[in-house]
């Protein structure tokens, strides 16, 4: 295993995933690479279907059955040992999941088994990872439930249907960090929640991260959430990371027309889907993607070069990379506009 | 009702059906079990509807000869035209015992209920009392005649003083031969008749009866189910309640009771009765289906376009229900089959038509079913019915899979 | 059955509101809704039973060759007594007051039924129909119940892998079997069992297995009797198992398929739970839940589906009694049996409706309060 810098928890190299379907192979992600540092919060932004969720599912090897990883590795470091997540045995994988990397799924409404009490589901999880002391589990769970601002005793003894959507989401967060994972993946942690609950969840997340020191990867349409929570932001388009950088770089100095398009479209408060109004066209067909830069059919700066050649991620500064042939023109037009 | 729409629908129907059929067969061939079921049904059609024209029903009892190797099957039957028939009155109430070398009970089936026949049970040489015991019985006059059949012995022993009785038995023994192969593919029955010919002729009426039952039930359910769903309100409540009430009565039991009280004199009439009994579950299914279709986008669209109710029913709802109705029809045919054959097996249905069900009935009542050598007589119709049902189910499942499964799950 | 779920939805609301508000809501509206639901379900059941009772009453009297007259005729020719005597005897066995109008008879009969008085058997005078039923029914309940339970358990066990490995060879084989199981009538299965292993292969002596236990044994808690009863029930039970199994398999398969698509199964796997835990507590438990309701409902139906099977195996259960009453035209017994079998269906439906909440915590809230 290659050595990783001690600060790195997770490094993804050239990850390419294909979905085999009746109509052909869907290239869901293409040569995705990024690094996640200890305590870092990274946001993956992009339209739905861009491959954000595929990336996150690959991290815990929870891809659908028809998905095939064609290339790449996912390196995970804990206490100076590095392992490739894609190479874990079944048993190792079971141990890895949740204990090292937990995923808080989109739509927590159905994340809990309706016929088991919350207590049982916490116990199941802890016991699967070697905890045996029910009292210790209970103590840990109650403190976490308190951390997510719930009435711990009551929620712990409830059935899932007795909790509201926001309560379930927070309970799932608590369950997510039960085993002190190093990485927590949050898939759209705030969609389908009302504004107040969203706010509460963000606060809880910030609190928790401060106290429990885990790294976060979160997936969102909601750029304001990204701006507020993330240290690093990666823009995903058609299965590729087209721009990645520190949160300020992305929000104030974006170098990719797609990122810029996402940012300039004004999000309505509730309907995150509307944010793409200012980008014409629709996401590309990933069975037969466009040639060259995959964004070119929708890009106002597109040139012949964009049609012919695919741009690579290039460093603009140490932490800011973008894949575009016409960064200069984007910058120029922005200065004009400003 | 707007007749033009009706006409349009009727004209386009055959073309649509043909086009649909070709496409359907192509898709069916991809579904292996379904295709097997389909081929099976075609085979059943050929055997029961076409072959009877070429195969004659063997109704010629061959009772005056012993056919086949001795010991292969034991049956005693006496010809109707037996000249000794008159003197049988004298035998009434007397007991005839039968001993077989090994195996289960042997049966003697008198042609008429002229005298009592009791089977003398004989399980095996090791366990049973054996022939000597039976001979003792004979000597004690506890029984009047003893018939012994084995591989080597074919003997009638009658109490010596009764010579007439002895002659009677010796002259009228028939052992029919169930050995497979030509000329009797499935062997012969208790009267020496060819079972294969009975199989060919015994299916048509059963299948027709089941078809009638299924079609009647489906039509009732389709009409009143759609009416219920489309009209809503009181009509809907009424038919739903009626269906629920009927569902609470075990329908087969009701049929059994009816059959016990009224003698169904024709098998086809039985089909009608069955159809009138099994509609309720179907009605509920179809009502639910129409309800869900009514809410479907394309119907909504048609309605908002101001298309007439007839148009919506005949061009939008019915075509989209055809596969569903077909599946339900097939399942109600299997139920009708269950009902009528169950009735026949119980002996409560007409046995004038010599169907597979009647063959089973005779197999039971004449005891051949319990005879190792005679079991084909019962096994052939039993298998024929079983496989027919399986073919129907396989075919229905295939249709279910071929046509959009979401069509139903939404209902 | 379960089409009316309003009581479920209205009570399974989240308890986001303050505890006081919740308690308040529960104490006021819940019992009302729940009680009215219970009342409604009960009422429906009672109406159904009443309708069937009346139907039986009318049926017996409207049949061509009115059984009362037929019976009087029979007695007249057989015993050569006066018409009045014969009529009296028949009237007694039918619970008919001879001077009463049909409407009076109807109410009289209903009244007797309410006291569980089903009259006395016509063909074996002096035997109460209720006693007859009590003699035959336990055997049916025993055989059918055992068959139903075994097939239920097997169906759940076999249905899950069918859903897990959809499209695999295993799925195809099991689906194929289920087509046999559901398509072939139960009595045809019975006949196949008698003919093939019984007669052709001589695995067992079918003649010795007639009846419900060996002749000469005294019913009771002795080993010989119990063994004999089990032995005699084995073939009918096996028949029921084979004939019902396919339905459970398919139900379980479709139920499991649905559950496998649920988020919580996905999350459970992501939580690193052991496969066994996921299969048992997450998939199996949720998938089997709706099947329990189906099981309760089917108890009523299966009781009456064994008539032909019992006749084939000469197993003396309720079906045998029914068949006997028909063949000897014992109309009072017949009325009793039909009523019983209908009541079984109605009450198993009712039971399913009322116990549905006990199994599913989502509904349990409404059941407890």
Residue pLDDT, tens place only, C246-269:
999 999 999 999 898 888 898 898
C-alpha closest to that of A176 among A184, A168, A188, A164? A184
Decide which of B153 and A277 is more confident.
A277
User: Mutate which of C55, C179, C337 to test chain B, going by most B C-beta atoms within 10 A?
Assistant: C179
State the chains in contact with C (3 or more Cβ–Cβ pairs under 8 Å): A, B
- Residue C114, min C-alpha distance to chain B (Å): 19
Q: What pLDDT score was predicted for residue A6?
A: 81
For residue A274, the enclosing domain spans 254-338
State whether C182 and B393 contact (CB < 8 Å).
yes
Q: Has residue B50 got a pLDDT over 80?
A: yes
- pLDDT tens column, A225-255: 888 888 899 998 888 888 999 888 888 888 8
SS3 category, A320: strand
- Continuous H helices in C261-328: 263-270, 275-277, 285-305, 307-312, 318-327
Chain A: residue nearest C264 by CA? Answer: A111
Average pLDDT over every residue of C92-118: 71
**What is the pLDDT at residue C97?**
55
Report, as an integer, the average pLDDT of A248-268.
Answer: 78
pLDDT tier at C78, thresholds 50, 70, 90: low
In this complex, which of C194, C301, C311 lies closest to B250 when CB atoms are compared? C301
What was the pLDDT predicted at C67? 59
Q: Show which of residues 296-315 on chain C sit within 8 Å of chain B, judged by CB atoms.
A: 301, 303-305, 307-308, 311-312
Which of C43, C55, C185 should one mutate to test binding to chain B, selecting the residue with the greatest count of B CBs within 10 A?
A: C185
Residue C154: pLDDT band with limits 50, 70, 90: very high
Nearest to A110 among C264, C270, C362 (CB): C264
| Region class of C286: left (phi > 0), else alpha (psi between -120 and 50), else beta | alpha
- Mean of pLDDT values over B180-187: 62
Q: What's the mean per-residue pLDDT of chain B?
A: 70
User: What does the pLDDT look like over C294-305, one tens digit per residue?
Assistant: 888 888 887 888
Whether A193 maps to a domain, the answer reads no
> What's residue B334's pLDDT?
94
3-state secondary structure of B337: helix
What pLDDT is attached to residue B163?
58
Closest CA to C270 of B360, B106, B301, A53: A53
Topology of domain C139-318, per CATH? MetI-like fold (1.10.3720)
Band of residue B221 on the pLDDT scale cut at 50, 70, 90: very high
Question: What's the whole-number mean pLDDT along residues B261-277?
Answer: 83
Whole-number Å distance between alpha carbons of C71 and C87: 9
Task: Decide if pLDDT at B411 tops 70.
Answer: no
C80 pLDDT band (50/70/90 cuts)? low
pLDDT value of residue C20: 53
pLDDT at C275 over 60: yes
Residues of B in contact with C349 (CB under 8 A): 248
Give the separation between CA B408 and CA B386, rounded to whole angstroms.
Answer: 28
Please count the other Cβ atoms lying within 10 Å of the Cβ belonging to residue C81: 13
For residue B99, pLDDT beyond 50: no
Q: Please compute the mean of the pLDDT values over residues A114-143 and round it to a whole number.
A: 90
Whether chain B lies against chain A with 3 or more Cβ pairs closer than 8 A is no
pLDDT at B84 over 60: no
Predicted local confidence at residue C70, as pLDDT: 66
Q: Does B249 touch chain C (CB under 8 A)?
A: yes
Q: Where is pLDDT greater, at B76 or B357?
A: B357
Provide mean pLDDT across the span B141-165: 48
What is the average per-residue pLDDT within B367-385? 77
B165-181 average pLDDT score? 46
Across the A:C interface, residue pairs with CB atoms under 8 Å apart total 93
Q: Answer whether residue B151 shows pLDDT above 50.
A: no
pLDDT in tens, A175-234: 988 888 889 998 887 776 677 777 877 888 888 888 888 899 988 877 888 888 888 999
Q: What is the share, in percent, of chain A residues with pLDDT greater than 70?
A: 93
Mutual orientation of helices C331-359 and C285-305 as an angle, nearest 10°? 180
Q: How many helices (H) and strands (E) does chain B have?
A: 16, 3
pLDDT band for position B103 (50/70/90)?
A: very low
pLDDT digits (tens, 9 = 90+) for C345-354: 888 888 887 7
Please report the pLDDT score of residue B385 as a whole number.
95
Distance from CA of A111 to the nearest CA of C (A): 4
* Residue-wise pLDDT tens digits, C9-18: 333 334 344 4
What pLDDT score was predicted for residue C61?
A: 66
Residues A219, A72: Cα–Cα separation, whole Å? 21
Nearest to B196 by CA among B183, B206, B211: B183
Tokens of B25: 């067969």
Average pLDDT, chain C: 78
Among residues A181, A118, A180, A112, the alpha carbon closest in space to that of A152 is found at: A118
Percentages helix, strand, coil for chain C, rounded to the nearest 5?
Answer: 80, 0, 20
Is the distance from CB of A36 to CB of A203 less than 8 angstroms? no
Q: How does the average pLDDT of chain A come out, rounded?
A: 83
The pLDDT score that the predictor gives to residue B70 is 26
pLDDT band at C28 (very low <50, low <70, confident <90, very high): low
Question: pLDDT value at position C239?
Answer: 94
Burial of B109 (0-12, 13-18, 19+ CB in 10 A): middle
Average pLDDT over residues C137-142: 90
β-pair type (A183-187, A215-220): parallel
Contact list, C274 vs chain A (CB under 8 Å): 94, 128
Report chain C residues whose CB lies below 8 A from the CB of A167.
14, 16
- Does residue A271 sit within a domain? yes
pLDDT at B93 over 50: no
What does the pLDDT read at residue A226? 82
Scan residues 123-162 of A and list those with Cβ closer than 8 Å to C. 124-125, 128-129, 158-159, 161-162
Q: How large is the average pLDDT for residues C323-349?
A: 83
Counted domains in chain A: 1
Query: Which tops the pLDDT comparison, A270 or C193?
Result: C193
Lowest mean pLDDT among A53-62, A270-279, B30-39, C57-66: A270-279
pLDDT at B261: 72
Phi first, then psi, for residue B362 (nearest 5°) are -70, -35
Residue A3 lies in a domain: no
Is B372 within 8 Å of C200 when comparing Cβ atoms?
Answer: yes
């Amino acid at each position: 295993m290659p050595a990783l810098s001690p600060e790195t928890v997770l490094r993804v190299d050239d990850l390419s995933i294909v979905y085999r379907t009746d109509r052909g192979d869907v290239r869901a992600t293409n040569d995705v690479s990024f690094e996640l540092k200890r305590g870092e919060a990274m946001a993956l932004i992009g339209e739905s279907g861009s491959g954000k969720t595929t990336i996150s599912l690959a991290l815990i090897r929870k891809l659908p059955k028809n998905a095939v990883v064609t290339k790449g590795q996912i390196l995970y470091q804990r206490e100076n040992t590095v392992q490739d997540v894609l190479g874990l045995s079944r048993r190792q994988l079971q141990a890895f999941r949740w204990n090292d990397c937990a995923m808080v799924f989109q739509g927590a409404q159905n994340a809990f088994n309706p016929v088991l009490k919350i207590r049982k589901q916490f116990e199941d999880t802890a016991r699967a990872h070697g905890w045996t002391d029910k009292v210790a589990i209970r103590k840990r769970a109650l403190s976490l439930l308190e951390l997510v601002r719930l009435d711990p005793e009551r929620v712990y003894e409830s059935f899932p249907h007795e909790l509201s959507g926001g309560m379930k989401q927070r309970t799932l967060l608590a369950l997510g960090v039960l085993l002190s994972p190093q990485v927590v993946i949050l898939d759209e942690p705030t969609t389908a929640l009302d504004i107040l609950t969203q706010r509460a969840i963000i606060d809880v997340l910030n609190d928790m991260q401060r106290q429990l020191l885990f790294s976060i990867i979160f997936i969102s349409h909601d750029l304001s959430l990204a701006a507020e929570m993330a240290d690093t932001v990666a823009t995903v388009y058609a299965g590729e990371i087209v721009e990645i950088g520190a949160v300020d770089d992305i929000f104030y100095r974006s170098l990719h027309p797609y990122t810029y398009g996402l940012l300039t479209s004004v999000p309505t408060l509730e309907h995150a889907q509307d944010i793409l109004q200012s980008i014409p066209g629709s996401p590309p067909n990933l069975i037969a993607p466009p040639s060259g830069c995959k964004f070119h059919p929708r890009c106002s700066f597109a040139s012949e070069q964009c049609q012919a050649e695919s741009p690579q991620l290039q460093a603009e500064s140490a932490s800011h990379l973008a894949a575009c042939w016409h960064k200069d023109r984007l910058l120029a037009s922005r200065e004009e506009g400003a | 009702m707007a007749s033009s729409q009706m006409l349009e629908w009727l004209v386009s129907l055959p073309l649509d059906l043909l086009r649909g059929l070709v496409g359907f067969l192509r898709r069916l061939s991809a579904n292996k079990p379904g295709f097997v079921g389909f081929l099976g049904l075609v085979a059943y059609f050929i055997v029961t509807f076409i072959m009877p024209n070429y195969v004659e029903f063997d109704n010629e009892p061959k009772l005056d000869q012993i056919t086949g190797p001795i010991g292969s099957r034991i049956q005693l039957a006496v010809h109707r035209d037996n000249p000794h028939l008159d003197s049988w009155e004298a035998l009434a109430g007397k007991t005839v015992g039968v001993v077989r070398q090994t195996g289960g009970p042997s049966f003697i089936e008198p042609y008429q209920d002229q005298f009592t026949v009791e089977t003398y049970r004989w399980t095996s040489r090791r366990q049973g009392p054996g022939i000597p015991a039976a001979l003792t019985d004979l000597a004690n006059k506890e029984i009047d005649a003893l018939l012994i059949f084995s591989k080597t012995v074919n003997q009638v022993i009658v109490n010596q003083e009764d010579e007439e009785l002895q002659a009677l038995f010796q002259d009228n023994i028939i052992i029919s031969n169930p050995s497979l192969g030509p000329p009797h593919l499935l062997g012969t029955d208790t009267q020496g008749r060819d079972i294969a010919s009975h199989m060919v002729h015994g299916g048509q009426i059963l299948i027709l009866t089941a078809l009638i039952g299924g079609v009647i039930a489906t039509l009732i359910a389709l009409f009143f189910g759609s009416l219920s769903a489309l009209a809503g309100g009181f009509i809907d409540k009424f038919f739903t309640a009626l269906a629920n009430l009927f569902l609470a009565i075990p329908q087969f039991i009701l049929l059994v009771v009816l059959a016990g009280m009224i003698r169904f004199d024709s098998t086809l009439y039985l089909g009608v009765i069955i159809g009138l009994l099994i509609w309720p579950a179907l009605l509920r299914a179809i009502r639910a289906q129409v309800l869900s279709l009514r809410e479907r986008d394309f119907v909504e669209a048609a309605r908002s376009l101001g298309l007439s109710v007839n148009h919506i029913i005949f061009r939008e709802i019915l075509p989209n229900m055809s596969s569903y109705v077909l599946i339900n029809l097939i399942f109600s045919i299997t139920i009708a089959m269950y009902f009528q054959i169950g009735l026949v097996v119980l002996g409560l249905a007409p046995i004038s038509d010599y169907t597979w069900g009647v063959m089973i009935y005779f197999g039971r009542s004449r005891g051949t079913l319990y005879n190792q050598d005679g079991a084909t007589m019962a096994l052939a119709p039993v298998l024929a019915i079983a496989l027919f049902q399986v073919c129907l189910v396989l075919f229905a499942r295939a249709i279910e899979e071929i046509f959009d499964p979401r069509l139903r799950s939404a209902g | 059955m379960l089409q009316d779920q309003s009581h479920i939805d209205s009570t399974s609301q989240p308890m986001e509101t303050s505890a006081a508000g919740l308690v308040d809501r529960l104490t006021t509206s819940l019992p009302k809704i729940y009680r009215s639901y219970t009342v409604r379900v009960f009422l429906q059941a009672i109406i159904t039973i009443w309708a069937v009772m009346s139907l039986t009453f009318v049926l017996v009297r409207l049949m061509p060759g009115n059984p009362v007259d037929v019976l009087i005729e029979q007695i007249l020719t057989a015993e050569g007594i006066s018409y009045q005597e014969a009529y009296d005897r028949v009237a007694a066995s039918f619970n008919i007051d001879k001077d009463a109008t049909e409407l009076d008879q109807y109410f009289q009969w209903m009244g007797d039924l309410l006291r569980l008085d089903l009259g006395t058997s016509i063909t074996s005078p002096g035997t109460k129909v209720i006693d007859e039923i009590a003699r035959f029914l336990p055997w049916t309940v025993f055989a059918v119940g055992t068959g139903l339970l075994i097939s239920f358990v097997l169906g759940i066990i076999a249905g899950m892998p069918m859903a897990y490995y959809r499209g695999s060879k295993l799925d195809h084989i099991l689906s194929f079997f289920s087509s046999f199981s559901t398509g072939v009538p139960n009595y045809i299965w019975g006949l196949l069992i008698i003919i093939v292993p019984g007669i052709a292969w001589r695995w067992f002596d079918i003649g010795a297995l007639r009846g419900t236990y060996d002749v000469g044994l005294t019913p009771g808690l002795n080993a010989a009797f119990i063994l004999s009863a089990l032995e005699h029930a084995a073939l009918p039970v096996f028949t029921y198992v084979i004939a019902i199994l396919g339905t459970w398999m398919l139900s379980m398969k479709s139920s499991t398929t649905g559950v496998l698509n649920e988020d919580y199964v996905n999350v459970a796997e992501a939580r690193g739970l052991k496969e066994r835990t996921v299969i048992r507590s997450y998939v199996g438990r949720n998938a089997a839940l709706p099947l329990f309701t189906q099981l309760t409902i089917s108890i009523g139906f299966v009781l009456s589906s064994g008539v032909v099977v019992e006749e084939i195996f000469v197993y003396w259960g309720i079906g045998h009694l029914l068949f006997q009453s028909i063949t000897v035209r014992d109309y009072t017994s017949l009325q009793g049996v039909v009523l019983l079998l209908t009541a079984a269906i109605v009450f198993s439906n009712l039971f399913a409706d009322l116990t549905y909440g006990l199994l599913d915590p989502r509904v349990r809230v409404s059941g407890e309060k």
